Each structure stands twice: as C-alpha cells, then as structure tokens.
Chain A
Amino acid sequence: MDLFFQQVLNGLMIGSTYAVVALGFSLVFSVMRVVNMAHPEFFMAGAFGAYLTIRYVTTNFFGVLAGGMLVAAIVGLVVERLAIRPVRGRYVMIPFIATSGVGIALQHLAERVFGSDPVAIPPVVPTVSYTLGPLSVTRMQLVTFAIAAILMLGLRYYVRNTKWGRATRAVAERPDVAAAFGVDVNFVSRLTIGISALMAGAAGVSIGILYTSAWAFMGLLYGLKSFVCMLVAGNRHIEGVMAIGLLLGVLEALVSGYITSTLRDAVAFGVLVVVLVFKPNGLFGSYSV
C-alpha cells in the first residue's frame, strides 16, 4: 500500500508538468486553430535557458526560473513569426507541417550547440527530502508542483477574469467578430504563444533541475504526452486538460512501480488509443478544426 501512495505522489508531481505543457499547447490550438508541433521545443528551451542562466548569470532559483522562461518566450516569438503567422488560417495541416519543420530544426540546432549528450544541470535547489509517514518527497518535487499549480491557476484566472483573457476567449470563438469590436487578433495570437511558451519553459526548468540534465531531444517525449493529454481531454475546458495531465502522471508512475518501468512511455499511447476508439472527440469534447 505504501508503494501505491508513494507512486501516486510521484505521479502527481510529474503529472503537473505534463498538465502545464499540455495546457499551453491546448491554449494555442483553441485560440489560433494551430497545432504547434514546436511547442515541445519551448519546454526544451526552458531547460537549456536554466542551464545557461546557472552557468553565466546566477544560481538563485528564481533567477534561473526567470532565465529559463525568458529563453522559452524568445524561442516562442521566433517560432510564431516564422512558422505560424505566415500560415494562420490556412488548411490546418500546413501549420502542423511548418511547425514540425521548425521544431526539428530547433532540436538539431540545440544538438549542434550543446552536443548530443545530456548537459548536466547543477542542483540549485538543495536536495532535501521531506517525509510524511511512509511517504517521502523531495523539495524540488514540491517546487515543481507548486510552480505548475501557480501557472495553471494563474492561467485560469487570466482567462476568466481579465480583460485580455476575455478577449482571448472571444478570439478563440469568433476571431472576426472579436476584431470587429476592437481586438487586435494578431496581438492576442502573439500573446497566447508567449504565454504557452512561458508555461512550457517553466516546466522545462523544473524538469531540468529535477533530473539534473537538459538534452536537445527532451521535448519530444514530453510533447507527445502533452498532445495525448489534449486529445484525451478535448480542448473545451482547462480543467479537463489539467486533470488528464495529473492522471497520466499517476498512471505512468503506477505502471512503472507495479509492472515495469520500461513500458512507462508507452502508457500514454495506450490510453490514447483506448479513448479515441470510443470517443474520437476526447473525453470532455470537443474538437473543432
């Protein structure tokens, strides 16, 4: 029983990062009708941004977090300018392919610059463990979860209660009408990409520090899982994507703990197939493309 709860706890910690990455991806899809296949590279950029910040600027955790997020945001705006803005509104597979191309170029560029082997990230958060009865959790895990929670709740607040959040929802639903009431749709799109990049970047920083490494291709697996989260949850409700992210983390941890850790990464696809066979529009609907 202890193993169960421990794995659930571990799963929630990792799942929170899946949820954050999935949310950003889902947000861009809802608002811009674009599947940004370069989204995982924002995650990767965050981790490398953290590495660079630690190496050249500061080892203060908040500084590192800010540095990572900044790098991710810059990459985000570059991707938006080059691969998304020119093709928005066209047949949906075109941005999919265009962002895939940019994503691949970015991954290999990172490989060129940082090498094919993972780059070590020194621990900037002291490795302290807390025990709660039979369960244990490290400080970094808690920090990761806290960052994820703040970002997700922040996004929810932004979307529901602020002027620009409202405008974002309006653009997601009817961009022409939103424009006709004064909303600069291009600005909202850039803003949305920026937010998705900041979120993915923060998750990248967390995971980079948690696993003490950054790697040019680390985004791929993360990206795949967050896509699965979005597909399974549908993109109508923020809360759905969050919940599925957490759930996936827990499921993976349980499979890892009880069956075999080598099949962990296949869990996501298995879940995807099962859900999509019965509900092609995701559990909480809906997909309008």
Chain B
Amino acid sequence: MFWTPVLITAGINSIIALGLYITMSSGPLSVAHAALAGMGGYLGAVLTTNFGWPFALAILAGVLLGLVTGMLLGLLIVRMNELVAGLTTLGFGETMAVIAFNIDYIGGANAFTGIPLRTTLPLVYAVLAVILFVAWRYDHSRLGYAARATRDSPVTADAMGINITWVKSITFGIGAAIAALGGVLRAHYILVQGPEDMGFFISVGFLIFVVFGGSYVFWGPLFGAMTLTILPELLRFSTKDRFIIYGVLLTVMVILRPQGFITRRSMR
C-alpha cells in the first residue's frame, strides 16, 4: 500500500510529539526529544540486532533508558529559567548526537544498520492508541494538573504544596520515555539508526508539531504530527523544502496563534 510508510511515520511522529507534549506540560521547552528518541532507538537496535533480544524487551529497555535520562535532565534544569533550560536541552541533544557520531560500536558516522524489521502499521497504531490513552489520563490526573500549575505559575504551585522538582523531573522523564519508545519503533522500521536523526532540527520538527497543533491539550500534538507529516507527502515536498516550510510555519504560528491550532476552548 502506498500510504503505509507515510502512515507509519505519522504514527511514530505522533508518539514522539506526545512525549514532548507531556514534557512541556510542566514548563520547559525541550529540543532534546529527537536525541532521546535516538537514544532509545540505538539501545533497542543494539539489543535486538547484536543480542537477539525479543522486541518487547528491547522496547522496555529503551523506555527505561528514556525515563532515567529524562528524569536526570529534568532535575538538571529545575532551577534554571526557561531560556537557559531550553538552551541546555539544545546542548544535550547536540552532544548526544556528537557522541553517537563518534562511537564506532554503534556505527559511528555510518550509523547502525542491519536492524531487523519489527514495526508494523497495526503495532504503531496500537501503541499510539495506548499513548493517547495515557496522555488523556495524564491530562486529568493530579500529576497533570500539578504540571500545568507549575508551568503557569511556579510560585503559586510551590505555595500550594506542589513539589516542583519532582513534578518537572517526572514529567520530563515520562515524556522522554515515550519519545524513546517512538525511537525504538522507528529504528525497527527504518532499519537504520544514525546520529543525524538526533539533532536540533529534528527536535524542532517535533516542537513544531506541538506548537502548531496545540500545546495545551493532548489532541494538539496528535493533530500537528499527523497533519504536518501527511500534508507534505500529499503535496510532494522534498525534505529540504519541507524544513523551509516548517521553519516559516513555526515562526508564523507562534506569532499569530501561539497556543496552537487545537486549544482547550476549541474542544468544547
């Protein structure tokens, strides 16, 4: 089917975008999520390819890696103001990409290849459905409210007894874990995992899914990722042009409608 690749990619992008959404729900802007996804991808790929692990366990390993890394990152940026935090995630992502570039065991500049195909369309959408359910429950959970309170007014949140450090750290962790999950799926679909998928641009790509789609409700990132993955295919844009459009779209969107396409109000 012609549409399979596009739909799989759109599904994976949606998963990672939702991860970013959860991380950003407590405040920080992250441009490290592509790197986090990549890390998951690398770990999962090495485990299945070199060690013959079952796919499910490889996924689990990736998710755990994402969770731990994300929580550590979250802890690191807790005391920073948003700008510094954002730039730190930038640095983290780029550094991970550089490190991946330089480790020959995982392929270095030539990327890690030979990954077995494990990801199928039904699997991706089953996982997506699960993640959507998780995001929905998250939005209405105590943690979700605490996260949004922390983002909107840290001082008030603190005064209400919310442990900001814990909230930021765990939301970053969960978001990173989901991104890593997406990364494992991706690696086992594209069958190649390389450092160029971990950089700033790709991360900004996910960011634009969230900003464009709407960063306040979980349907937003889904809409953003789906639309912005499928539309360029429909219009037959090449990758280079795609990023020019992404860049322009990001700028225009954030100036004219910073809350994104789908807001809480438009859901009523």
Q: Is A277 positioned at the interface, with any CB of B under 8 Å from its CB?
A: yes
Residue contact A112 to B241, C-beta cutoff 8 Å = yes
User: Which residues of the partner chain A approach B249 to less than 8 Å between Cβ atoms?
Assistant: 101
Q: Is A106 positioned at the interface, with any CB of B under 8 Å from its CB?
A: yes
Stretch in B42-50, B73-81, B117-125, B167-175 touching the partner: B73-81
Q: Is B243 positioned at the interface, with any CB of A under 8 Å from its CB?
A: yes
Report the Cα distance A289→B85, complex, angstroms. Answer: 13
Within 8 A of B (CB), among A254-289: 262-263, 265-266, 268-270, 272-273, 276-277, 280, 287, 289
Known: A97-B207, A97-B250. A224 touches B91 (CB 8 A): yes
Q: Is B126 positioned at the interface, with any CB of A under 8 Å from its CB?
A: no
Within 8 A of B (CB), among A190-246: 220-221, 224, 227-228, 231
User: Which residues of the partner chain A approach B91 to less than 8 Å between Cβ atoms?
Assistant: 224, 227-228, 268-269, 272-273
Nearest CB in chain B: distance from A36 CB, A: 12
Number of interface residues of A (CB under 8 A): 45
Residue contact A105 to B76, C-beta cutoff 8 Å = no
Question: Can you identify 22 A-B contacts, CB atoms within 8 angstroms?
Answer: A35-B83, A83-B251, A94-B258, A96-B29, A96-B83, A97-B250, A100-B204, A101-B246, A101-B250, A105-B245, A107-B201, A108-B240, A116-B240, A262-B102, A263-B98, A265-B94, A266-B98, A268-B91, A276-B76, A280-B81, A287-B81, A289-B82
Residue contact A105 to B251, C-beta cutoff 8 Å = yes
Nearest CB in chain A: distance from B84 CB, A: 6
Nearest CB in chain A: distance from B10 CB, A: 21
Known: A102-B248, A228-B87, A280-B80. 10 other contacts (CB 8 A): A97-B211, A97-B254, A101-B254, A116-B240, A231-B87, A263-B102, A270-B95, A276-B76, A280-B81, A289-B82
Residue contact B92 to A108, C-beta cutoff 8 Å = no
Q: Is A63 positioned at the interface, with any CB of B under 8 Å from its CB?
A: no
Majority DSSP secondary structure for residues of A touching B: helix
Residue contact B84 to A280, C-beta cutoff 8 Å = yes
Residue contact B95 to A269, C-beta cutoff 8 Å = yes
Residue contact A104 to B204, C-beta cutoff 8 Å = yes
User: Which residues of the partner chain A approach B80 to less than 8 Å between Cβ atoms?
Assistant: 276, 280
Q: Is A177 positioned at the interface, with any CB of B under 8 Å from its CB?
A: no
Q: Is A46 positioned at the interface, with any CB of B under 8 Å from its CB?
A: no
Write the chain A residue with the least CB distance to B91. Answer: A269
Question: Per-residue 0/1 for B235-268: is the Cβ within 8 Å of any A Cβ (1 yes, 0 no)?
Answer: 0000011011111111110110010000000000
Partner among B201, B208, B248, B255 whose Cβ is within 8 Å of the Cβ of A87: B255
User: Which residues of the partner chain A approach B241 to less than 8 Å between Cβ atoms?
Assistant: 108, 112
Report the Cα distance A263→B101, complex, angstroms. Answer: 10
